[in-house]
Amino acid sequence: MKLFSLILCCLMSSVSSLMADSTTSSQELTSRQKHIITIAAYTGKGNLHQLRPALNAALDSGLTINEIREVLVHSYAYCGFPRSLRGLQTFISVLDKRKSQGIADVPGRDASPSKDKRSRYDRGCAILAEISGAPVNGPKADYAEFAPVMERFLKEHLFADIFERDILTYDERELATVSLLAAIGGVEPMARSHMGICLNLGITPEQLHQLLDIVSRRISPAEADAAREELNTLLQEKGLPVVSGTGQDAGKTEKSLFPTGTPLSDNPNFTGEAWLQMLVSKADSLDCTVGHVTFAPGARNSWHAHPGGQILLCTSGKGYYQEKGKHPQILRSGDVVKILPNVVHWHGAAPDSEFTHIAIGPRQNKGGVVWLNAVTEEEYNKLPQ
């Protein structure tokens, strides 16, 4: 009865998610934006272990080497040279490994040379005024009065030298900045200021809450909650609606009833970022396991089979399921996949969407999962979009 109630709850979650997905609009963050936000968050926090699969996923989704490198370079202005340099070193390692595997990643274009003849200070002032909506000759901040050299560094180097580099847009730089500051923690006033810039650039409150949902899952609910409190205060001041709740209960993009769970970054049977939260384990003596699995965009498991079969209840996002020798199936919220015993298959997320499902493993007395080879990039890139 307990297991039946759990499965019924999963089905209700799937139906709810399907209804939510049908109302998705242009206010959703794009896949590209999500990758930038994730890379920035891990770099700011110094979590190189998780940064590595995030870099691989971004490359697999189509970001160029120069675009990803620019996110890491941009990061130093907010989290310091040491973490930015460690991020760049991790990226070099990722690229070297991919090259050894025969993967030819696209370098992408470099920054265009500036044709603006004004001084760097004047150019920086103009860029800051454009993105913030504040007048160029407005009152100076207290730090600028106290340490004029810092104000000059910010205008000349940050907003001229860095922001002028057109590999990333102003929107993308500000999303990366908010992600960095939220992940670092303890700098909420700065995060609030940059969230205000995001709103001025046309990024919606819903998209900012989605950003903080990513920080909550990837870094810490506590860090995301602190930034979310600042965001809600900012929205109240502007007469815009706020989002109640904290952590994974906050925002409109959290569609799962279950925790994200433990990262599977050390599991060789997963490519990209994935998380597992066991709901029913072998220790419960029900001859059945139930787990909630979250795949980041582009993530998937290896080819494998279950001696007792498997059932997948898709709860959010877009994913794929493929049996050996057969065409892949596109999976969406509400889909149910019934996998017969010993059928070799794999499942995971689409390149541009996170994907979650409940995995039910019946008849565990028949034996555990049998893992085989990884799904190659060539196999994955042939999938229907």
User: Which residues of the chain are under the pLDDT cut of 70?
Assistant: 1-26, 243-256, 385
- Give the helix/strand (H/E) hosting 304: strand 304-305
Using alpha carbons, list the distances in angstroms from residue 177 to 30, 259, 266, 288, 295: 17, 27, 28, 44, 24
d(CA 269, CA 140) in angstroms, rounded, equals 54
Question: In terms of Cα–Cα distance, which of 216, 63, 261, 371 is closest to 54?
Answer: 63
Q: How many CB atoms lie within 10 A of CB 78?
A: 24
Adjacent-strand bridge partners of 280: 290
pTM: 0.71
> In degrees, to the nearest 5, what angle opens at C-alpha 45 toward C-alphas 275 and 48?
65
Q: How many CB atoms lie within 10 A of CB 33?
A: 20
Pure H helices in the chain: 2-21, 31-45, 48-61, 65-79, 81-100, 120-132, 142-146, 148-153, 170-184, 188-200, 205-218, 221-237, 377-381
List pLDDT tens digits, range 49-81: 889 989 988 998 899 999 999 999 999 999 999
- Residue 196 Rama label (left phi>0; alpha psi -120 to 50; beta): alpha
Report the pLDDT value the prediction gives residue 4, as an integer from 0 to 100: 47
Report the pLDDT value the prediction gives residue 9, as an integer from 0 to 100: 52
What distance lies between CA 47 and its chain's CA centroid?
Answer: 14
DSSP 68: H
Residue burial 177-190, b: 16+ Cβ < 10 Å; e: rest: bbbbbbbbbebbeb
The answer to whether the beta carbons of residues 288 and 253 sit under 8 Å apart is: no
- Residue 330 Rama label (left phi>0; alpha psi -120 to 50; beta): beta
Report the pLDDT value the prediction gives residue 144, as an integer from 0 to 100: 84
